Copies of this chain bind each other. A is one copy, B any other.
Amino acid sequence: MNLLAKTTFAVQEPDRLIAAQVQTLLDLKTKPRRSLGRLESLACQVAAIRGDVCPPLPEKAIVMMAGDHGVAEERVSAYPQEVTAQMLLNFARGGAAINVLARQACARLVVADLGVKGEVSAAPEIRNHRIAPGTRNFTREQAMTRPQAIVALEVGIALATELAQAGVALIGLGDMGIGNTTASSALAAAFTGAPVEEVIGRGTGIDDAGLRRKLDVVRRGLVLHRPDPADPVGVLAALGGFEIAGLAGVVLGAAAARVPVVIDGFICSTAALAAVGLAPHAAGYLIGAHRSVEAGHRIVLRALEVEPLLDLQLRLGEGTGAALAMNLVDASLHILHEMATFDGAGVSDSGA
A residues near B (Cβ < 8 Å) are 29-33, 35-39, 78-80, 82-83, 86-87, 89-90, 93, 95-97, 99-101, 103-104, 204-206, 293, 308-316, 320, 324, 327-328, 330-331, 334-335, 338-340, 344-348, 350, 352
Q: Which residues of B contact A32 (CB under 8 A)?
A: 78-79, 204-205, 315-316
Q: Are A340 and B205 in contact (CB under 8 A)?
A: no
A95 to B328, CA, bound (A): 19
Whether B344 pairs with A95 at a CB distance below 8 angstroms is yes
| A37 / chain B contacts, CB cutoff of 8 Å | 293, 312-315
Contacts of A83 in B (CB 8 A): 347-348
With contacts A100-B338, A104-B330 taken as known, whether A38 is within 8 angstroms of B348 at the C-beta atoms is no
- With the chains together, A346 CA to B328 CA distance in Å? 34
Whether B78 pairs with A35 at a CB distance below 8 angstroms is no
CA distance A312 to B348 in the complex (A): 26
Within the complex, the shortest CB–CB distance from A72 to chain B, in Å, comes to 13
- Residues in chain B near residue A309, CB distance under 8 A: 310-312
Question: By the criterion CB–CB under 8 Å, are B311 and A95 in contact?
Answer: no
Taken together as a complex, chains A and B put the C-alpha atoms of A327 and B347 apart, in Å, by 30
A sample of 13 more A-B contacts (CB under 8 A), given A36-B314, A95-B345, A324-B328, is A35-B204, A36-B320, A37-B313, A37-B314, A80-B350, A86-B348, A96-B340, A96-B345, A97-B339, A206-B352, A309-B310, A309-B312, A324-B327
| Shortest Cβ gap from A213 to chain B (Å) | 15
5 contacts between A and B (CB under 8 A): A36-B316, A79-B352, A86-B347, A89-B345, A206-B352
- Distance (whole angstroms) from the CB of A64 to the closest CB of chain B: 14
Measured between beta carbons, the chain B residues less than 8 angstroms from A29 are 97
Among residues of B, the one whose C-beta sits closest to the C-beta of A207 is: B352
Q: Which of A29, A37, A311, A350 has the most CB of B within 10 A?
A: A37
Cross-chain contact A86 with B204 (CB below 8 angstroms): no
Q: Given the complex of chains A and B, what is the CA–CA distance between A324 and B350 in angstroms?
A: 26
B80-A348 in contact (CB<8A): yes
Given contacts A90-B345, A100-B338, contact A78 B350 (CB under 8 A): yes
Query: Which residues of chain B are within 8 angstroms of A320 by Cβ–Cβ distance?
Result: 36
Q: In the complex the two chains form, is A352's CB within 8 Å of B100's CB?
A: no
| Least CB separation from A313: chain B residue | B37
Residue on B nearest A326 in the bound complex, by CB:
B327
Residue of B nearest to A314 (CB): B37
Bound-state CA distance A315–B101 (Å) is 28
Q: In the assembled complex, which residues on chain B have CB atoms less than 8 Å from the CB atom of A352?
A: 78-79, 204-206
CA distance A150 to B309 in the complex (A): 39
Which 6 interchain pairs have the tightest Cβ spacing?
A95-B340, A37-B313, A205-B352, A78-B352, A32-B204, A35-B316
Contact A347 B90 (CB under 8 A): yes
Q: B90 and A30: CB pair below 8 A?
A: yes
- Tell whether, in the assembled complex, residue B35 and residue A86 are in contact, meaning their CB atoms are under 8 Å apart: no
Q: Which residues of B contact A315 (CB under 8 A)?
A: 32, 35, 37
Expressed in whole angstroms, the minimum distance between the Cβ of A66 and any Cβ of chain B is 13
Contacts of A350 in B (CB 8 A): 78-80, 204-205
The verdict on A100 contacting B335 (CB below 8 Å), with A32-B204, A312-B38 known, is yes
